[in-house]
Structure 1
């Protein structure tokens, strides 16, 4: 089975307006037999979107439209050689676990796939969407007091996401484990950070969590590698952590990108 387990949609405020059908048709052309639409879930009520353009996720009203649209798509392609799943990419926000659990308790039954990801980190009382662009990342590094501290804070936050207990609604997969590397060519490091990532893999193993093998970093000019980095993927394989390829496509043409290479 060729599966793309991390795909966005026209319901993404910062994505393209390519139709859902365009995503599926491109997947079919590439021989993909399973696709998970994992749109950015609504942020918790009361949490202010840190992205400068305030476009990180769907609103709750749009969320209902999204679910209905993908369910209609499933019916439309019920005789096609592809399994279409409806899901979300859910933000782990430190300190907002109860609100996240409430969302899962309310909406989890309608979801067939969930990815738990870290995009937002609080530093000195300021929330930042650390992968928004290079300038926001530079601010994040500055507030942390340097690139090494920025890595430490990121991996500490991911660790919290891995340890978070959502009971019967536990998201089964951790998204883009090394997103901190998105701008690595302009923010080189001379310290050893790899051990922290290895520790996260071991923790994921004990929690029976799967790993998002995300090709988006290969499309980012300042990154040029997958999330996670290849040596971490190899370690995850040796540990028999379930691995799910994800294009993290935000437009139809990127569905299945680099699948054959990866």
Structure 2
């Protein structure tokens, strides 16, 4: 099985308008047999998106149409490829009740899902840590240091693993080293190997899967997958299940760097 389990769609408000068909036809052409569309789920209604365009999640009014489009495409391409209907759910500290309610309401539509941390809480404010390098650095000054942002991020990922989000809680943890996205944009070098191992080990112990996410290899200030190559090997050594995810936001980015991560497949 050749699988890409983290793909965005024309419903992404900060992606492109590339059609589902463009993604699907490319996946078939590249001999993928199993794909999951994991569009950014609508954010909790009471949460204020801190990004300038406030476009981190799908518009709620589009959600049912998203499911309906994919259900039709599942039937249309049933003989060619397995298409899973999924979402990328944000874990936002303090919004667990709203997130669980969302999953209780829409979980029956899902074949697959990812739980990711993009937003970190500091006091009564939130920051999207993967939006832009200057925002990340400014947030680090507010928190105290780059290292403290790293610890806050890993603490929040661990909270997401432990959170009770109900029976439809995603079983895969998204890009668990996303905090590395801007690591080359500042001079501070952080040794976070112990924290990464802690997160991966906890995932394995609690029965979660790893979103082995290749997108970081294309990011100017990252230049590595999430998690880094050494921790892909570590994940294998502890028996942590992994699902490749290109995190494509355009059809051109679909399956990006798959051959770098799996050179013999």
- What TM-score range do you get, normalising by the shorter chain? over 0.9
Matched with 1:155 is 154
Matched with 2:26 is 26
Render the CA deviation track for 1:80-130: whole Å, top value 9, x for unaligned: 2x1001100000000111111101111001101110000011123221111
Number of aligned positions between the proteins: 261
Matched with 2:181 is 182
Matched, 1:121 2:108: no
> 8 Å contact 1:124–1:143 — kept in the other structure?
no
- Structure 1 segments of 4+ aligned residues over 6 angstroms from their partners: none
Matched with 1:199 is 198
Matched with 1:166 is 165
More displaced stretch, 231-240 vs 185-194: 185-194
Matches within 5 A, 1:32-47: 32-47=32-47
1:191 and 1:47 map into 2 onto residues whose CA distance is: 31
1:30 and 1:260 map into 2 onto residues whose CA distance is: 11
1:248 and 1:92 map into 2 onto residues whose CA distance is: 17
Matched with 2:12 is 12
> 8 Å contact 2:113–2:172 — kept in the other structure?
yes
**SS of alignment partner, residue 85 of structure 1:** strand
**SS of alignment partner, residue 5 of structure 2:** strand
Question: For structure 2, which runs of at least 5 residues remain unmatched after alignment?
Answer: none
TM-score by length of 2: 0.96
1:188 and 1:36 map into 2 onto residues whose CA distance is: 37
Render the CA deviation track for 1:23-73: whole Å, top value 9, x for unaligned: 001111111111100000011121111111110011211111111111111
Matched with 2:72 is 72
**SS of alignment partner, residue 167 of structure 2:** helix
CA shift for structure 1 position 78: 1.8
> 8 Å contact 2:5–2:245 — kept in the other structure?
yes
Matched with 1:226 is 225
Question: For structure 1, which runs of at least 5 residues remain unmatched after alignment?
Answer: none
1:131 and 1:40 map into 2 onto residues whose CA distance is: 14
**SS of alignment partner, residue 14 of structure 1:** coil
More displaced stretch, 140-149 vs 189-198: 189-198
Matched with 2:89 is 90
2:180 and 2:155 map into 1 onto residues whose CA distance is: 15
> 8 Å contact 2:137–2:146 — kept in the other structure?
no
Please tell me the root mean square deviation across aligned C-alpha atoms, in Å: 1.0
